[in-house]
Structure 1
Amino acid sequence: MSDTPTGGPTITMYTTAICPYCVAAKNFLKSKGQSWQEVRIDLDPAEREKMISKARRTSVPQIFVGDTHVGGYDDMIALHRAGKFEPLLAGAGA
């Protein structure tokens, strides 16, 4: 896995093709100058199982910053509003 351009941990986002929250999450990360690794669970059932095992959730998106499970779009925005998402991107941990 490669690091994001900011030198922080890799962002992994589990998504499907038809998911407005996935689009919103990508737009938010883009606005922060971030890149991410997208894993389409609608194309790969094995990746869906992996996501459920890691996140303990079945909804998308499921967002990970490094090994830290952020959650879905609303969770990411809540972290951002609390001032805790940017330090996570910088590698500080949650």
Structure 2
Amino acid sequence: MSRVVDDAKSSDADFIVYSTTFCPYCVAAKRLFDAKGLTYHEINFDHEPDVRNDVVSETGHRTVPVIIDNRGDNPMFIGGFDETQRYLK
């Protein structure tokens, strides 16, 4: 099983947010989820650097945040903040 799927399956949160410590788009994504009453589980690449390569190779997304919709049976890669904002409209 992939790293992203493993992280999603081990969380009850609506979304998985891969982030870094100093990332304004990560903060914006978390604020968006809070405003919409959605839960998220954050995995910080700065605290778990080995995770980044796995997530990039699985999603093709090189920037943060990397956001996964975990609400259905199969976790779905959304993209970054801009894609998530459009996705949740």
Contact 1:61/1:72 (<8 A) preserved: yes
Q: CA deviation at 1:33?
A: 0.9
Q: Which residue of 2 aligns with 1:80?
A: 88
Q: What does residue range 1-94 of structure 1 map to in structure 2 within 5 Å?
A: 1-4=10-13, 10-66=14-70, 67-81=75-89
Q: Runs of 5+ in structure 1 lacking a partner?
A: 5-9, 82-94
Q: CA deviation at 1:27?
A: 0.2
Q: Which runs of 4+ in 1 moved over 6 A?
A: none
Q: CA deviation at 1:80?
A: 2.4
Distance 1:30 1:50, change over 3 A: same
Task: Describe the superposition over 1:13-38 as per-residue Cα deviations: whole angstroms up to 9, x where unpaired.
Answer: 00000000000000000011111110
Could you say what the CA RMSD is over the residues aligned between the two structures, in angstroms? Answer: 1.3
Contact 2:11/2:41 (<8 A) preserved: no
C-alpha separation in 2, matches of 1:57 and 1:35 = 22
Q: CA deviation at 1:43?
A: 1.9
Larger Rg over CA atoms: 1
Contact 1:42/1:48 (<8 A) preserved: no
- 1:60 match: secondary structure: coil
